Amino acid sequence: MIESQENSKNNRQEYRKQVDELGKKEFTLIKMQEYGFWPKNLPTPYEKQENETKEQYLERKNLTKEYEKIIKAITDLYDEKDEINAKLRDLNKKYNETWDYEKIRQDVSKAIMEESIARRKERKEKRELEKKQKNEAWQKEKADRIVFIGRGYSGLLYDKENNEEKLLNQGLPVIKDDKALADFLGIEYKKLRFLVYHRDVVLVDHYNRYTIPKKKGGERNIAAPKLILKNVQRKILEEILSKIQVSDYTHGFLKGKSVVSGAKSHIADKASGENTALLINMDLEDFFPTITFERVRGMFKAFGYSGYISSLLAMLCTYCERMPIEVKGKVKYVKTSDKILPQGSPASPMITNIICVKLDKRLSGLSSKYNCVYTRYADDMSFSFMEEGSALNLGKFMGFISKIVNEEGFNINKNKTRFLRKNNRQSITGVVINNDEIGVSKKWIKTLRAAIYNANKLKNSGEKISQKTINEISGMISWIRSVNEKRYANIIESGMNLINT
């Protein structure tokens, strides 16, 4: 007996030694072959795994997962069976010597009800705890970073990955998160949170709003950002927007370009000194309001910024129209539009130029096919033809323009489309191009001469010229000087003599 126990102990020690050396799986396989449970001429599972294809591997993994699910289900059933048997034994022991089935039924029903109540209570407490923990985690996350910027604007805040290589190639700053954005803009983090959060109704508006009359009737809504937001937008303009290449065909809001440079483009090829045969001026309808928050966010995302940073930058560069309403003695500003590009922001003009790059490219390509010159100043587009031959199909040409403009997300204001031929005064954004040199309208010059004459007359009579009149004349002189100083040298000199004496 003692010898048998000793042999068994030695066998166990020998088995452990082999398991340690070979590994449990290899040892088990050897023993299976030794006892005839696995034929020696059949490939082992390890050999199969080494030679299996990718498809066989995936199939084996899927079968393994299904097998594990079945094993778990069987284990759960056995556990449930054991629990039921234990309860049956307890009931059998408790009611072994009684024949009062009504009492048994009542006791069992009571026990089931108590267990059910206890389970519901436990589940309720668990849900409340989970809810509390989730709320605490959410509050902590809200305190640590911006997680919501307003209904309808927070859809891409989950996207946190910048395309750093793309940003660096364009010379743009890499901004990883909201705190880095606040540092970049030079403002406090809590101020950034305040500026980017949209509310439909607010007590404090970030913009000074007013209207200015349009030249041809109506009013233009202007929203000028208040100081802190204005500085933020200027920083975005200088450090991000100004580094983006824009079209050569746009002449608005760019260093070295103006309405004058745009007008000059349409007389550059006048070697013969002849007037332009046909000038077409067109206007993009509701230009700034057409550029929405989504388009601005998409622009920043195209630079390489994450959806998160793009959303925050777009919130800083857009606004919504609001109307003041007095409620219980307090003035509140209520949203009347979705977020759009404001006229009055230092960043808005450059944003329009960037968003219109593809529009300019397509229209300039169309113009090349039709042998005409194309320029754009903000929402004013001009097309000039040196020759208006019979081959020019204006209807077809205008149809192509309309199609391109609509596809790029804009609309043409048909009421402002003008076809100006040689016998018309041909002007682009107030600059006349009929002659071989640019100028302003005769009516405009006549108005300036009259203003200077009346001011001199007033001065010679001993009366003081009002500052308003001085400013108006000074502004008009600055304008004609920028258009063609040489051509208007005499009237400029006359006006300057009046202003300086």
- Whether 385 maps to a domain, the answer reads yes
Check whether residue 268 and residue 414 sit in a common domain: yes
Tokens of 352: 């329009």
Q: Provide the CATH number for the domain around residue 366.
A: 3.30.70.270
| Contact between 167 and 303 (Cβ < 8 Å) | yes
DSSP code, position 172: P
Check whether residue 309 and residue 357 sit in a common domain: no
Check whether residue 222 and residue 257 sit in a common domain: no
Check whether residue 412 and residue 299 sit in a common domain: no
- Whether 11 maps to a domain, the answer reads no
Q: What is the pTM of this model?
A: 0.72
- Whether 300 maps to a domain, the answer reads yes
pLDDT tens, residue order, the chain (501 aa):
555 556 666 666 776 777 677 667 677 777 777 777 667 666 666 666 666 677 877 787 788 788 788 888 888 888 888 888 887 787 777 767 666 777 777 877 888 888 888 889 989 988 998 888 888 776 777 677 899 999 999 999 999 999 999 999 999 999 999 999 999 999 999 999 999 999 999 988 899 888 887 766 667 778 899 999 999 999 999 999 999 999 999 999 898 899 999 999 988 554 555 668 899 999 999 999 999 999 999 999 999 999 999 999 999 999 999 988 988 888 899 999 999 999 989 999 999 999 999 999 999 999 999 999 999 999 999 999 987 765 678 899 999 999 999 999 999 999 999 999 888 899 999 999 987 789 999 999 999 999 999 999 988 888 888 899 999 999 999 999 999 999 999 999 999 988 887
Q: How many CB atoms lie within 10 A of CB 101?
A: 9
Fill in the amino acid letter for 451.
A
Check whether residue 336 and residue 191 sit in a common domain: yes
Q: What is the pLDDT of residue 10?
A: 66
| Contact between 265 and 375 (Cβ < 8 Å) | yes
Q: What is the pLDDT of residue 280?
A: 95
The three-state secondary structure class of 80 is helix
Check whether residue 320 and residue 454 sit in a common domain: no
424-to-51, 273, 417, 432, 488 alpha-carbon distances in Å: 85, 17, 14, 10, 22
User: In whole angstroms, what is the distance from residue 109 CA to residue 329 CA?
Assistant: 64
- Whether 449 maps to a domain, the answer reads yes
- Whether 72 maps to a domain, the answer reads no
Check whether residue 457 and residue 414 sit in a common domain: no
Q: How many CB atoms lie within 10 A of CB 298?
A: 15
Q: What is the pLDDT of residue 238?
A: 96
Check whether residue 496 and residue 445 sit in a common domain: yes
DSSP string, 93-150: HHSTT---HHHHHHHHHHHHHHHHHHHHHHHHHHHHHHHHHHHHHHHHHHHHS-----
Q: What is the pLDDT of residue 451?
A: 93
Domain boundary among 422, 437, 452: 437
Q: What is the pLDDT of residue 5?
A: 56
Q: Do β-strands 278-283 and 380-385 pair in parallel, antiparallel, or remain unpaired?
A: antiparallel
DSSP code, position 242: G
- Whether 22 maps to a domain, the answer reads no
Q: Do β-strands 372-377 and 431-432 pair in parallel, antiparallel, or remain unpaired?
A: unpaired
Check whether residue 157 and residue 239 sit in a common domain: yes
Domain that holds residue 397: 249-287+353-437
Check whether residue 489 and residue 372 sit in a common domain: no
57-to-43, 44, 47, 67, 69 alpha-carbon distances in Å: 16, 15, 13, 15, 18
Domain boundary among 385, 418, 437: 437
Check whether residue 157 and residue 189 sit in a common domain: yes
Check whether residue 157 and residue 300 sit in a common domain: yes
Domain boundary among 382, 404, 437: 437
User: In whole angstroms, what is the distance from residue 287 CA to residue 351 CA?
Assistant: 12
- Whether 336 maps to a domain, the answer reads yes
How many folded domains does the chain comprise? 3
- Whether 236 maps to a domain, the answer reads yes
